[in-house]
Amino acid sequence: MFHILRYNHLILSVFIIIWKIIFAIDIELPKGENTLRKINELVNNYSIKYKTINIYFTEDYFIPTLDDYYFGVPENSNVTLIGNPNNENGTIFDFSNDKFNHYTIYFGQYNGQEYKFENITFINYINPNGGDHLLIHTRSEDVKFGLVFKNCKFDVGNAKILIVQYQMEKKDKWNDYQILFDSCRFRRKDHDSYYVKNYVIKIINSVFYNCSNLFQCNFGKLEIDNCIFNNICSASNKNSAFADVLFDGSLEIRNTIFNNEKLINKAVPFIKGNGNNIHLFNVTMKNVHNEIGFVIQDIGKSGNNNTIYINDSYFENISSLIYGDNINTYISNSAFLNINNRNTFPIIATSKNTYVNSCKITNIKLNGASLFDDMTSLYINNTIIENVTTLYKPIFQTNNKDLIFNSTNMKNITIICDIYECNLISAKTSKNIQFHNVNIQDVHSNGNVIYINGNSVNIEFDNFILENSDSYGAFLKCISENVNVQIRNSMINNNVNHNKFENGLIIFKNNIHIDIINSLFDNNKSHSSGILYFDEIKNLNITIYNSKFINNNCLNNGGTINLIDKNDSYKEYIKKIRINDSLFNNNTAKYFGGILYTNIFNSYDIKVINTNITNNYAGVAGGFAFYSQINFPLKNFYSYLKDKTFNNLIKNNKAKSHGNDFATHPTHFDLIYNNNNTNFEILSGQKISLTLELKDSLNNIVIDSEKYYSNIGVHTKLLDYKNNEVDNYYISDIMSTFSNGLNEINSMKVFIETPGLYHIRLNSKSNYFDISSDFDIKINDCNITEYYKIIKSNNVFYCEEPICYNCNSKYKICNKGNNDNGSDEIININNPEYNTCNCITGRKGINCEEKDFEDTSGFKIIATVLTAVIEVFIITIAVTLIPFKNYEVVKDFGKYSLLSITIGIYIPFSIRMIIPSKFSLKFNLSFEDNILMNNIFSTEIFEKMFKETREISYSLFDINNIKKYLHHYDNRKSFNDYQNITRSLSSDSGDNVQSMEISKRRTISSLIKQSHFSLVSSRNNYSYGNRREFYFLGVPKKKCIEHKSYSCECETKQIDKYTVEEIQSIEEFVDTYNKIFNIKHIFKKKSKIIIKK
């Protein structure tokens, strides 16, 4: 194959040589002034025979005359004018010394013939009179011709180099070209170079230096390939500095370099179009700036071609590239870098639709401009955008247009400007914003990164990554009236909002629909509230599926989500939240809601399934969720989450103050009554002791160790029974702060004018927290025998205890004396001179140090007599049973049973009566004394009389008050009320009193009894089945008519249902059994007597 190609090439070369020999002729022009005029004669003569006529200039330097020259082109021949081949610069045409003229080339017939200038230099073609003059002109009526300039130089001139006019209607299809400049050089061209109408002009392999206003193309096509343009400028206020493409003309530039070292100092664009097609392929453009501010301008109206294609190109340090309202711009495989403009035009394109594919935009500094215009629909694909800084305007902005990013990386973006003026993206849109396979890293912003407003917007994040960015505002803030957001397969990690006044990392308002699916929010931080912040909510639909929110941190409220309703609750909105198969772990908020903070007024439909909510933390309240406003559905939300059917895990959430899982602000005070006294009855001016417990709506105790609620305080009012504030009263100042959720009030005094029944209302001092609690109080008048009634200046009074000299011993008491002055008037003055100091009950002596015991001899006599009488009576009953042993009533119970019962009654009664008759009631609460008192008074009476939580006498139980204690005991509702109370006993240190802990525990004794009972019960159950007469002796008997006896129990066995009496008997038996096995054991301890079950 290789040999065949080589032979073919050789044959073709030979054929060309033969063609030139046979059909071409080379002619040398003689020297002289009329050399140019001989050209037409030579062409006409040789064109009859030769297809190609090559005419060589023999002169190195040629000075034309002022006459215009006319060159005719034969219909079947190609003509080439060639400069002196023996000179490196060919032949120079020097038009200096006012020798300016022009040359006209005329094609008589159009058979595709070609007229060529080769190796000729044109210099100083300057019109001394100015005006619109030209160097070469051709007029044609067809496109089948060619005009070629090869290896020519155009040096210093102000006239047009070429004007090509077409006298027929424009053609829709062009040939390859009509005018060709190949390997030419242009220098210091200060006027329009080319005017082309309806033709294709092609410039290849050429260089332009310091030229201005080069091309004008009307209804034609300008092609430039592999050229270099240096320092192109505008010498006048023409339409453009480089090319002016009008009407249906088109411009195509390939493999070309533009490089300017100075500003184009006229207010004209570099290229100007009028709804044309402009193509840039592999174009490098550097340092191209002009006063007007943009490189390419298109003024075409909508409906024209209006298309600019830029492929494989490179733009560095240029003015704004494209400006036009109706352009469709396609940019691919291109780079924009090191651009720092100080104008307001978008850096890359102002157009109707812009498509950017596989590009790189880097090292851009925006000074009051964006990359693209806000009225463009922008589609960016597979593009890198990095090291971009803006000082005033958004980098991307759109107004009611689509903004689509696909497979795009943005990195090192710096935004320095006002929070609401400058963003990465600013959109006022009712269309679509999409981020598909987009990676945004290292954004540093003075404000919001993405800001969206308007009526409606659809936002999609799919395979989106945002990481390592920080801003003084939200990353995404959308305040549109209606927003539909999709976040799928995305990661938002390690981002920070430093602005404590701009809430959230992502914020939405109004009517919101958002789906978060298969996404991760990790280690984000907001110096305000929330990672996801939903504000002024109207309608809301949130779906979170298979997503993770971990390690997020907010320095205000809501470690992950904030829900803030629009305060127009009179409207009905639909609000729905669905969370499935997701994880919320290790999220924190400085104040409220480790995950969720809400301030909502409407009902929400919330469902959470298969979700783990663990290890979240709130610095004040609500380790999981905090409700600033709460309603009934939200109160039930916690129970819903705990329902095992929904498979949620809520674990290890913490809050420093209250509500490890759920919490609200404090809503009420709970009163904890000291000494278990729920009924306050005091004298005016007497102290009240109570404790307030601060709680929220979910009944969490508000510990408030951080003093967040320190301004709540407590304010008191006195109300009458109609809940009207009393006119004249005074309540002393109380502690108004809470410590660990409690406010212990130990010294509140109430002073009144009129005794009676009142309410005391406790209100929070702070108006923000409307908290109040009431309790009843009875305020009595002073007992004049015990107190002095002191009336203050505002007519309220208080009761004052008597004051005595030297009466400060704990065994002494000061009693009110008679301080009358001998007249009928009693002086109400608390004077120690009239009061007396006496010993307390149970003490005597000068200093009341001696114990005063009660004389119990009378009680002993009475006890002994009563014991003897009852013992005689019981013995009589026992003896009487013997002669009546054959009576049926005795036989039914059994004589030995009755005898045992009688002895059983006698023995404990004797113990009860004999023991107190033999011992004095001098108790010091020793182990033995407790045994004695328990046997004397029975367990219940002993506990009621001696183990109440109160101060008792230090030395002696007052036997005279037994009736009082018994009466007090009888009025109790239930003994059980006292069996769970912690009781304390006080005693003199010299009385050798020991404290005991009485605990109900099963010991060996109780175990033996229990085992015996179990054996008997098991035997009975096995032997007698469900025959209840073998279990309950208290079941009423029925006489058998057949046997005329009760012992056979025939009738009892036939009973199928229990009667009321039977049930009562069974209950009594159970109660008796409980008492039998209710064993108490006494152990020595040093502090209190505690009864435990």
Residue 668 CB contacts under 8 Å (≥ 6 apart), including other chains = 695, 771, 772, 773
- For the ranges 151-155, 552-556, 609-613, 890-894, which has the lowest average pLDDT? 890-894
pLDDT above 70: residue 281 = yes
pLDDT above 90: residue 388 = yes
pLDDT above 80: residue 69 = no
Using DSSP, state whether 33 is helix, strand or coil.
coil
Q: Residue 99: which of 123, 78, 115 has the closest Cα?
A: 123
Residues 488 and 486: their CA atoms lie apart, in Å, by 6
The pLDDT of residue 987 is 36
- For the ranges 343-352, 796-805, 821-830, which has the lowest average pLDDT? 821-830
The pLDDT-based confidence of 331 (bands split at 50, 70, 90) is very high
Q: Are 366 and 397 contacting, i.e. CB atoms less than 8 angstroms apart?
A: no
- Write out the E strands in 429-572: 432-436, 439-445, 450-453, 456-462, 465-467, 470-471, 476-478, 482-488, 491-493, 496-497, 506-517, 520-522, 525-526, 532-545, 548-550, 553-554, 561-565
Which residue carries 């006496």 as its tokens?
838
Residues 270 and 289: their CA atoms lie apart, in Å, by 8
Helix segments in 971-1040, DSSP class H: 1004-1024
The pLDDT of residue 847 is 82
Spell out the CATH class of 667-780.
mainly beta
pLDDT above 50: residue 1090 = no
pLDDT above 70: residue 342 = yes
Residue 951 CB contacts under 8 Å (≥ 6 apart), including other chains = 986
Average pLDDT value over all residues in the chain = 77
**The token pair that represents 674 in the structure block:** 């000291």
pLDDT above 50: residue 975 = no
pLDDT above 50: residue 781 = yes
Give ∠ CA 497-502-503 in degrees, rounded to 5. 80
Q: Are 240 and 271 contacting, i.e. CB atoms less than 8 angstroms apart?
A: yes
Residues 180 and 227: their CA atoms lie apart, in Å, by 13
The pLDDT of residue 213 is 78
Q: Residue 238: which of 137, 160, 128 has the closest Cα?
A: 160
Domain edges within the chain: 23-211, 667-780, 1020-1092
Query: Bigger pLDDT: 771 or 569?
Result: 771
The pLDDT-based confidence of 737 (bands split at 50, 70, 90) is confident
At 987-997, the pLDDT tens digits run 333 333 333 33
The pLDDT-based confidence of 8 (bands split at 50, 70, 90) is low
Instruction: Report the DSSP beta bridge partners of residue 773.
Output: 762
The pLDDT of residue 669 is 84
Q: Are 278 and 308 contacting, i.e. CB atoms less than 8 angstroms apart?
A: yes
Average pLDDT for residues 328-347, to the nearest whole number?
91
The pLDDT-based confidence of 113 (bands split at 50, 70, 90) is confident
Instruction: Report the DSSP beta bridge partners of residue 257.
Output: 228, 284
pLDDT above 50: residue 234 = yes
Using DSSP, state whether 667 is helix, strand or coil.
strand
φ/ψ (deg, to 5) at 962: -60, -40
The pLDDT of residue 996 is 35
The pLDDT-based confidence of 506 (bands split at 50, 70, 90) is very high
pLDDT above 90: residue 1040 = no
φ/ψ (deg, to 5) at 685: 90, 0
In the chain, what's the furthest Cα-to-Cα distance?
A: 186
At 621-674, the pLDDT tens digits run 999 999 888 877 777 777 777 777 889 999 999 999 999 999 988 888 888 765
The pLDDT-based confidence of 1022 (bands split at 50, 70, 90) is low
DSSP 820: B
The pLDDT of residue 1043 is 58
Query: Bigger pLDDT: 10 or 760?
Result: 760
Burial of 321 (0-12, 13-18, 19+ CB in 10 A): buried
36 φψ region: left (φ > 0), alpha (ψ -120 to 50), beta (else): alpha
Q: Within a 10 A sphere around the Cβ of 1044, how many other Cβ atoms?
A: 9
Average pLDDT for residues 691-714, to the nearest whole number?
84
The pLDDT-based confidence of 10 (bands split at 50, 70, 90) is low
At 485-499, the pLDDT tens digits run 999 999 999 999 999
Using DSSP, state whether 700 is helix, strand or coil.
coil
Query: Bigger pLDDT: 771 or 552?
Result: 552
Q: Within a 10 A sphere around the Cβ of 292, how many other Cβ atoms?
A: 20
Query: Bigger pLDDT: 182 or 833?
Result: 182
In order of 712, 765, 769, the CA distances from 665 in angstroms are 11, 15, 8
- For the ranges 6-15, 153-162, 469-478, which has the lowest average pLDDT? 6-15
Residues 448 and 470: their CA atoms lie apart, in Å, by 10
Q: What share of the chain in percent tops pLDDT 90?
A: 28
Residues 368 and 579: their CA atoms lie apart, in Å, by 44
Q: Are 557 and 528 contacting, i.e. CB atoms less than 8 angstroms apart?
A: no
Q: Residue 526: which of 487, 484, 475, 568 has the closest Cα?
A: 475
Q: What share of the chain in percent tops pLDDT 70?
A: 70
At 933-961, the pLDDT tens digits run 555 555 555 555 555 433 333 333 443 44
The pLDDT of residue 217 is 79
The pLDDT of residue 227 is 96
Which H or E element spans position 44?
A: helix 37-46
In order of 349, 371, 375, 393, 427, the CA distances from 378 in angstroms are 10, 11, 9, 17, 12
